[in-house]
Each structure stands twice: as structure tokens, then as C-alpha cells.
Amino acid sequence: MLKQNRNWSADPVLSVEHLTMRFGGLVAVDDLSFDVGRGDITALIGPNGAGKTTVFNCVTGFYKPTEGRIALRRDGSVTPEALAELTRSGRQYAEGDKGSIFLLERMADFKITEVAGVARTFQNIRLFGGMTVLENLLVAQHNELMRASGYTIGGLLGLPGYRRAAEAAKETAVEWLRRVNLLDRADDPAADLPYGAQRRLEIARALCTNPVLLCLDEPAAGLNPRESAELNTLLKYIRDDHGVSVLLIEHDMGVVMEISDHIIVLDYGKKISDGTAPEVRSDPKVIAAYLGVDDEEVEDVERDLEVKPAPTRAEGDAR
Ligand SMILES: Nc1ncnc2c1ncn2[C@@H]1O[C@H](COP(=O)(O)OP(=O)(O)OP(=O)(O)O)[C@@H](O)[C@H]1O
């Protein structure tokens, strides 16, 4: 069941404000602002070349934005004053009584993962193919294990603190493998898994870092209908049972419309629509943008969008 409230305005975990990214003369993202609600599944959609991956790359520190602020609030108690104070200070983040805030546009990619708690997967799967499935999930928890070793040879010496951390890392890995139905493949090389299973393993690996925000770049790409349905179930479980906020880029409208609490639509780097799935699905600007894609895709898009009028506010409230 999709949530009915507009959580993204009430309690945003991520606020992207006036984000602009230029590559020479090309404006890939143009003065874009949107919020991601805490505990929501938020989809970023739009035709090819709309700027979706560029936004992801800015949020996760792979690109330094030309302009704009990207604020991650790790808890709901962050006040606008605390955010303004951090922005003025020139610092990257603040953790304290006023809540934890991270200005991602100021942070390096590895710090965004380790310190701010943003994990991501890529359009092209990036697993360690020669390592086993289990090892891929243990490597993801490397930072935690390094901390437990005291950044010394504590691991080799088998210090109790390290042993406990290693045991906990294994438990976390096994739990996620069970959840993504890969426990029976734990000792197989990751490269031997079928494509859909590799996608699930990538998501499990990102989750092992215990993120606040999970960014998924086209998680349904290349999946068959059964695997897509399994992915939907997994993403809803992550949201509902772990409270992880999910931001995804996805072309598969079946997946997007079924699981998203909130959808943001980009076209030529600008936001053209922002709302719930029923609102976005019936927005003429969105339909026009999608009908601008290649001719052979038009019918698919019309069918996927199931064009029908959005409920009025009164109808929506009555549900
Ligand atoms: N590193 C880069 N250098 C120059 N131009 C880039 C770079 N990255 C992206 N672009 C350009 O920015 C625009 C937006 O690209 P982007 O990959 O963000 O779109 P997208 O919406 O993710 O597309 P797709 O759905 O095809 O993945 C495109 O015109 C692209 O060619």
C-alpha cells in the first residue's frame, strides 16, 4: 500500500536545492529542487538524457555540482536554523543536539558513504566477480571492521573487539543474503550468479553498510517480470521493515508506479512534475515528455502510464 501523506514536505531526509550541473556549454541539470521523504520510496524518472544519472552523481559525490545545496538530514530534529548555520560555517557536516546534517555537495564520495550514510548501486553492476557472494558483503563492511581493529594489526591478532565485529559483520551479511534469497549461493563466485541475482546482491551489499538513504540506479534494468516483482517486494520490505529511504532512477514504469510514494520527473535537466504516482501519471507535461521518446516506445509508455485522470483532492482524501 502506498502512503497517502506528503512525507517529503513534512520530513525530508534529503533536500536538493537549486542544483545545477554544467558540462562545458551543456546544462545537464538546471536549477533543480526536490525533497526525498524519510522512509519513502522516491523515483526520479524522465526520458533518456534528462539528467537523472547526473543528479545521482551529484548526490553521491561523483560529481561536484556547479551550483546548489544537497542537504541530508539523518534525523527529523534538524531545524532550518541549524541548516542555515552549517551552510554559513563552510563546514561539511554537523552532528549534535540540533540533529545530524550533511552538506553532500561539499563532501567527497567516500565520506558521503561512510559518514553521511548514503549507499548506491550503479546502472552497470559493479560486484567483485572473483569473490564469493558472502565475501562481497563482508568487504562492504570493511570500514566497520577497520574501526574494530583500531586501525592496527588487531584483526590478525584476533583481539576480542575485532572478533565480535567480524562475527556481527557475518551475521549482517547472512541476514541480507537470506532476505534476497541468495543464502544457498553464499560460497559461489559472484560472477557465477544469474543477472537478476547479481542485481539483488548489489542491493544487499549496499544495505550491509546500514545506510540512511539508498540510491538505486535502474535496479530493474534487464530483469524478467518475475525478477521485477521480487524486486518490488524487496524494496517495499527495505522501506517498511528497515525504515531506509530509497531514491531510485527507473525506466520500468510498472515498477515505478507500483512502489513509489513520490515521483519527480525531469526533462532536459528541469523538473516538469513532482507528486504521487496518480498525480504524475496523469500530468499532461509528463505524458508529452514521454511521447517525445522514440516512436517504437510510445505505445509501451502509454500502456505503462495507464493514462487516466488524477483523483480530485476530495476523492484522494476519501481513500
Ligand atoms: N561526464 C559528462 N560529460 C559531459 N556530458 C555529460 C556527462 N554526463 C552526462 N552528460 C550529459 O548530460 C546529459 C544528461 O545525462 P544523464 O546521463 O544524466 O541523463 P539520464 O537521464 O540519466 O539518461 P539515461 O536515462 O539515458 O541514463 C546528457 O546530455 C549527457 O550526454
Predicted local confidence at residue 130, as pLDDT? 80
| 51 Cβ below 6 A of ligand 1 | yes
Measured between alpha carbons, how far is 33 from 44 in angstroms, rounded to an integer? 12
| 156 Cβ below 6 A of ligand 1 | no
- What residue's CA is closest to ligand 1, atom 14? 51
* Three-state DSSP class for residue 191: helix
Chain centroid to CA 249: 8
- Pick from 220, 288, 203, 295: which is nearest to 255 by CA? 220
| 57 Cβ below 6 A of ligand 1 | no
* Cβ–Cβ < 8 Å for 82, 75: no
CA 175 – ligand 1 centroid, Å = 36
CA 55 – ligand 1 centroid, Å = 9
pLDDT single digits (tens) 194-218: 888 999 999 999 998 889 999 999 9
Q: Which atom of ligand 1 is nearest to the CA of 21?
A: 12
| 136 Cβ below 6 A of ligand 1 | no
H-type alpha helices, 90-210: 109-111, 133-139, 142-148, 154-157, 160-179, 195-207
| 117 Cβ below 6 A of ligand 1 | no
pLDDT single digits (tens) 145-173: 566 555 555 555 565 555 676 777 888 89
Q: What is the pTM of this model?
A: 0.84
Q: Which atom of ligand 1 is nearest to the CA of 24?
A: 4
Domain extent listing, the chain:
7-117+211-318
Burial label for 48, CB within 10 Å (0-12, 13-18, 19+), is exposed
Q: Which of 30, 52, 55, 264 to mutate to test the pocket of ligand 1 (most atoms within 8 A of CB)?
A: 52
Mean pLDDT of the chain: 85
pLDDT single digits (tens) 48-100: 999 999 999 999 999 999 999 999 999 877 888 889 999 999 999 998 776 79
- Pick from 40, 78, 42, 6: which is nearest to 243 by CA? 40
Predicted local confidence at residue 316, as pLDDT? 44
pLDDT single digits (tens) 132-148: 999 898 887 766 656 65
Beta pairing class for 213-217 and 245-249 = parallel
Predicted local confidence at residue 164, as pLDDT? 72
Measured between alpha carbons, how far is 77 from 238 in angstroms, rounded to an integer? 23
Measured between alpha carbons, how far is 133 from 61 in angstroms, rounded to an integer? 27
At residue 23, φ and ψ (nearest 5 deg) are: -115, 100
| 46 Cβ below 6 A of ligand 1 | yes
Measured between alpha carbons, how far is 55 from 32 in angstroms, rounded to an integer? 9
- What residue's CA is closest to ligand 1, atom 30? 49
CA 54 – ligand 1 centroid, Å = 6
Single-letter amino acid code for the residue at 67: E
CA 69 – ligand 1 centroid, Å = 20
What is the grid cell recorded at 225?
517480470
Strands (E), the chain: 12-23, 26-37, 41-45, 67-73, 93-94, 101-103, 118-120, 213-217, 245-249, 262-267, 270-275
Q: Which CATH number fits domain 7-117+211-318: 3.40.228.10, 3.40.640.10, 3.40.50.300, 1.10.150.120?
A: 3.40.50.300
